[in-house]
Structure 1
Amino acid sequence: MVRAARSYHHGDLRAALVEAGLKLARTGGIGALGVRELTRSVGVTPNAAYRHFADREALVLAIAVEAQDRLAQTMLDRMKAIRADADPADRALARLRAVGEGYVHFAMAEPGWFELAILTRDEPGDDSPQPTIESRVAPPYQLLVDALDGLVEAGVLTPAQRPNAEVACWSTVHGFADLATRGPLRAQDPPILDALATYVVDTIIAGVAAPPR
């Protein structure tokens, strides 16, 4: 007996394809996101996907947006543990630490999704440094910017120290994440990686927040 193809209401297939993409990418990364594999996993033909996405790139970018949101949520979840009655400076530093540690631990826990989350697409005429997908600033990057702005508001950073601080922070934590997931540190035991991640994040925060000379 031939199994009938699944029937989707308008708009449901797009969401189903994105969700299927997240499942495939979780273990296989971007390389697992073939249109045939994705459509087969939800029981439709490849042509059905093209009614919602112009091409494979558009489909992959839509899945990447969801991966970015999950990375951002990891950071936000860590922020929830910060005491509401803490000193404003301590809260601001803790928010930046949550961003950095959230980034690294997401990369180590979900390398397939992390590969998607750092995917970018250059917009025509856009020479700004922030990563963008579908004309939006990536939420994890925005959380980093907001956390650094919060340090200025709390008096931890001076306005003169603020420019380009996000580049220093981002480069440091991304470099460690890359070493821990694809580089020579990937063979280390998880407790060692956790300790190193804490050290790296604390070190860059100390450097960024150090009093100006």
Structure 2
Amino acid sequence: MPTSDRALSAATATSTTGTTGTTARGRYHHGDLRRALVVAATALAREGGPEAVVLREVTRRVGVSANAAYRHFTDRDALLEAVVIEGLAQMAGAMEAELATVRPRHPQRRARARLRAVGTGYVRFACAEPGLFRATFLVPSDLRRARNPQARGAGGRTPFELLSDVLDELVVAGVVSPEQRPGAELLAWSAVHGLAVLVVNGPLRELPPEAVEATTQRLLGMVDAGLGDPSAE
């Protein structure tokens, strides 16, 4: 959990004295209570997936009444939606961290390395945060979340936008033809997401970490080859 979130979670358990009361229930203003609820719900998702996000437990951890929570979220589904957006933002951060490690400067090699970085960050996030990953992607939804501004990482892009960016770079570098570009996000995403689900919640969950990493890189090589000419330099 980021330092700011840990601090906020700790603060929710601490009683304070103010004009509105002497308990944690009296310390929140409109904005920070909503954030505290999301932090607590995200922690529950980490621990047990979407099924663990129960409004009663969230309010217990934060130290407020259910009525206070309803001022910010109409029901559990609304709170779970906020957890999904939080999960997407954190996944974007994991993908950005992988992108920051890319070293090649040759345009084609760099574009290909960035494609691999985005896919690697996706799978590594799923493995590191299986409960939050399940909450983020196994809750029914549609593509409207893909460009939600609140789902962006520190670099200002959502996971879907990061993938779109690297695919555009592949076109500019001459690895992918303009004719192949439309809809390429869905093809690459489907392949990588399928592996992540198999590893987190399917028959590949017993694979050792080194086997998961090797399988991920091989899959990304296949995605690269399917999108463009793998011999292009």
| From 65, 80, 88, the counterpart of 1:68 | 88
Alignment of 1:153-168 (within 5 A): 153-168=172-187
> Deviation digits for residues 138-175 of structure 1, max 9, x if unmatched?
61111111111111111111101112211211111111
> Deviation digits for residues 148-207 of structure 1, max 9, x if unmatched?
111111111110111221121111111111111111111111111111111111211122
| From 40, 44, 50, the counterpart of 2:60 | 40
**Aligned match of 2:208:** 189
CA distance in 1, matches of 2:75, 2:23: 22
Give the 3 Å change call, closer, same or farther, for CA 178–154 of structure 1 in structure 2.
Answer: same
CA contact (8 A) 1:71 1:117 kept: no
CA contact (8 A) 2:127 2:200 kept: yes
> Deviation digits for residues 51-105 of structure 1, max 9, x if unmatched?
111221111111111110000111111111112x611111211111111111111
Q: How far is the alpha carbon of 1:135 from its aligned partner?
A: 7.3
CA distance in 2, matches of 1:76, 1:105: 12
**Aligned match of 1:128:** none
- Does the residue aligned with 2:119 lie in a helix, a strand or coil? helix
| From 86, 94, 112, the counterpart of 1:93 | 112
> 2:169 aligned with 1:169, yes or no?
no
CA distance in 2, matches of 1:132, 1:187: 33
> Deviation digits for residues 106-125 of structure 1, max 9, x if unmatched?
11111111112224534xxx
Which residue identity lines up with residue 101 of structure 2 in the other structure? A
CA contact (8 A) 1:120 1:133 kept: no
**Aligned match of 2:132:** 113
- Does the residue aligned with 1:44 lie in a helix, a strand or coil? coil
> 2:199 aligned with 1:199, yes or no?
no
Give percent identity, aligned residues only: 47
CA contact (8 A) 2:95 2:117 kept: yes
Unaligned stretches of 5+ residues in structure 2? 1-14, 16-21, 152-157
CA distance in 1, matches of 2:95, 2:146: 22
Query: Cα RMSD over matched residues?
Result: 1.9
Give the 3 Å change call, closer, same or farther, for CA 52–108 of structure 1 in structure 2.
Answer: same
Alignment of 1:103-142 (within 5 A): 103-118=122-137, 119=139, 121-122=141-142, 131-133=143-145, 136=148, 139-142=158-161
If asked which structure has higher relative contact order (CA below 8 Å, sep 6+), I would say 1
> Deviation digits for residues 13-43 of structure 1, max 9, x if unmatched?
0000111111111111111111101000000
**Aligned match of 1:126:** none
Q: How high is the TM-score relative to the length of structure 1?
A: 0.87
**Aligned positions, number:** 200
**Aligned match of 2:167:** 148
Unaligned stretches of 5+ residues in structure 1? 123-130
Q: How far is the alpha carbon of 1:9 from its aligned partner?
A: 2.2
CA distance in 2, matches of 1:145, 1:25: 27
CA contact (8 A) 1:5 1:44 kept: no
